[in-house]
Amino acid sequence: MVVKNSTPQLEQQIQCIKFTIFCLNSVMWIFGSAMFGLSLWLRFEPVFEDWIMFLDMYEFYIGVYVLIATSVFVIIVAFVGCGAALMEYVLGLFVHVGLQLFCFICGLAGAAVILDYSTYDSQIQPIIRRSMSNLISNSQHDRASGILKLIQENVGCCGADGPMDYVNMLKPLPTECRDTVTGNAFFHGCVEEISWFLEARSGWLAGLALSLCMLHPAVHQMTQGSTKHALLCFLEQLRESNGLDRI
């Protein structure tokens, strides 16, 4: 990109552009690595994984898988962008600009899916309600009873939508449905409580993904504009040095 007869001003502009692109891609690499680590933790955290299995709500992992794949792609794209900037490889920078759009779409889709299957009043609630109802109807079995006890004691909830679920199914109200201090049954059902629990966990990941989505357009515009500016300056320098009107 830089020729021997380039002026010091042109060289200074190119160096400034190069390290600006490098720094932006470094920030993007850090965000991508953080999203990758958080996604893996959310996917393989043992206690959380048990709850997903007990309640048969594997749909929650769809958004996590999308964000894991997106974060890996973002890390690769950011690494390529850093290399292309340092090597002053113009074609690589333009390819990098195009890949920013793909990263933006994938990150936005992953954040949307994980929020759609983890927040209050989302598609995860009917799944939790169905699983809790099945467990209550089979609470006479040891496995279902053990899962109900584990969930209701740890979360502090009762039934799917409240204690009336046991009454409607003609099932005895278990002791884990009651507050250990007051002895009263928990007011909230497990559908609401687990939804809030999932929302607290997935909110950090979705927020990180959306922050990265905001960074992609900035990197896209900066890289595209800077590369075009550097090319124009380079062509102008060639025109002046060779005394040509057109190239």
pLDDT value of position 184: 87
Secondary structure of residue 2 in the 3-state scheme: coil
Angle between helix axes 60-87 and 190-242 (nearest 10 degrees) is: 20
pTM of the model: 0.81
pLDDT value of position 1: 42
Q: Would you tell me how many other CB atoms lie within 10 Å of the CB of residue 36?
A: 18
Amino acid code (one letter) for 178: R
Count of alpha carbons within 13 Å of 110, Cβ hemisphere only? 29
Amino acid code (one letter) for 116: D
pLDDT one digit per residue (tens) for the chain, 247 residues: 444 444 566 567 667 777 878 888 888 999 999 999 999 999 998 888 888 999 999 999 999 999 999 999 999 999 888 888 777 777 777 788 788 889 999 999 999 999 999 988 899 999 999 999 999 999 889 999 999 999 998 888 999 999 999 988 988 889 889 888 888 888 889 999 999 989 988 999 999 999 999 888 877 777 766 666 666 665 566 666 665 444 4
Nearest one of 104, 118, 125 to 64, comparing CA atoms = 118
Q: Which domains does the chain have, with CATH numbers?
A: 14-227 (1.10.1450.10)
The answer to whether 195 and 122 have CB atoms below 8 angstroms apart is yes
The answer to whether 25 and 219 have CB atoms below 8 angstroms apart is yes
Point out which residues pair with 185 in neighbouring strands: 178
